[in-house]
Structure 1
Amino acid sequence: MSAYLAAAQLVVNSMEELEALPVGSVILSESYQYSLTVPNYPVVFQKLYTQEWHRGGRLADTHPEIIIPARVIYQPEVDDA
């Protein structure tokens, strides 16, 4: 990722900031690492309509405290009407 893109993306550092993200938001966890082999790599999570955070291919939600800090890579526009 370029330094410009990294600087332009929001970083979530607290549970309050994470909970404030709208449904459909996608984050790249900077702390949750996963791999079947070494080296580990960062994991992407999406906020579902249940307000839970899921990573692809996993049946259960992931406790949000273990996925922050995280970089917001997609945040849908919210209609305030």
Structure 2
Amino acid sequence: SERLGIPLMRIGFPVFDRLGSQHKLAILYQGTRDLIFEVANIFQANQHAPTPEALDPLRNREISDERCSPPLAGQ
């Protein structure tokens, strides 16, 4: 996950680099609830806020595709 730049969620057995992971409940209602909370926290920790430049729909609207340009005179 480090090489790809994506967050890693350790789940399953055995997990050697986290203390107490063997005591974490992963089934039934409480396990599902805790899984949802953990996934939501991972998304919040890696949230990318848009910059004002990315929100401007009129910025960088140059068309570089040759099919969209008008034909040249004499061709």
TM-score class, shorter-chain normalisation, is under 0.3
Structure with bigger strand share is 1
> Larger RCO: Structure 1 or Structure 2 (Cα < 8 Å, ≥ 6 residues apart)?
1
Structure with bigger helix share is 2
Q: What TM-score does the superposition give when structure 1 sets the normalisation length? A: 0.20
